[in-house]
Amino acid sequence: MNDVTRLEHLCADAWPAVADVPLGEWRMRAAGGFTGRANSTLTLGEPGLPRAEALRETVEFATRHGIPPTAHVVIGSAAEESVAAAGWAVDEEHLGGAESAVLTGSVAEMAELAGRVPEVTAVHDRPSPGWWRLAVGSEHPSWAQRHVLAGGPAVGFAACERDGRTVGAVRGAVVGGLLHIARLAILPEFRRRRLGFGLLAAVAEWARGRGAREYALQVATHNTPAIRLYQGLGAVEHHRYRYWVPRG
């Protein structure tokens, strides 16, 4: 297993879909339509049958679960040419952006460079209503949102509080020695105050206590401010991926 494959499978484990069905080395995933990662087929490795046939299987899987058929394709991977040849196209309308970068770095370096912000005091085992509001836009998450974000063996939820109000949040999950970071959110009026750094420092320290040495996160390639934030904490680009959908 190469490093891209290892990393993508760990990220998938850290972001658990409701249904996660193997197709050879591929993973067909569904979670009520909540996020592309949890509602797409990861196309790394060999599916155990011709790829055109495997893609038809993914369409049938998506149809059974009531989601659009979508392939999660690493740029430059063996599957990319086959997906294009089967008549699929990059999903330019994808909500999070057509192309994403996977960034990686050292948990210890992130904890050191980010520093601490007093309002971020702990990482909790359960998300608060305020955390949910920032992460998904409602204090009452759907069943799929709760499964994806609150599922997994080691998940932590850091929040930044001001006057009893949650103004910043981030999710961390530790799987196989990897810290997966997601859902970093700061209310607009509280940005540019290093609160994001404080949240990342808190989740990095939490993960280090659980044996994590490296971290990974996904960010849309058009999201320049987020990329600059993470690069300032030592993150480097590992690889990129895109979501593909059938034409027509």
Show the domains of the chain with their CATH numbers: 3-101 (no CATH), 102-239 (3.40.630.30)
- Name 240's bridge partners: 101
Structure tokens that stand for 11 in this block: 């990220």
115 in the Ramachandran plot: left (φ > 0), alpha (ψ -120 to 50) or beta? left
Write the pLDDT tens digit of every residue in 66-79: 999 999 999 999 99
pLDDT of residue 218: 97
* Per-residue pLDDT tens over the stretch 156-215: 999 988 888 899 999 999 999 999 999 999 998 888 778 888 899 999 999 999 999 999
Give me the pLDDT at residue 119, please: 59
pLDDT in tens, 101-156: 999 999 999 888 766 655 566 799 999 999 999 999 999 999 999 999 998 789 99
pLDDT at position 122, please?
Answer: 77
- Stretch 3-26: mean pLDDT, rounded? 97
Stretch 9-31: mean pLDDT, rounded? 98
Give the residue from 39, 145, 138 showing the smallest Cα distance to 94: 39
Query: How many alpha carbons lie under 13 Å from residue 52 in its C-beta half-sphere?
Result: 3
pLDDT at 135: 95
- Rounded CA-CA distance 221/207 in Å is 26
Q: What is the mean pLDDT of the chain?
A: 93
Confidence bin at 35 (pLDDT 50/70/90): very high
Average pLDDT of the residues in 3-15? 97
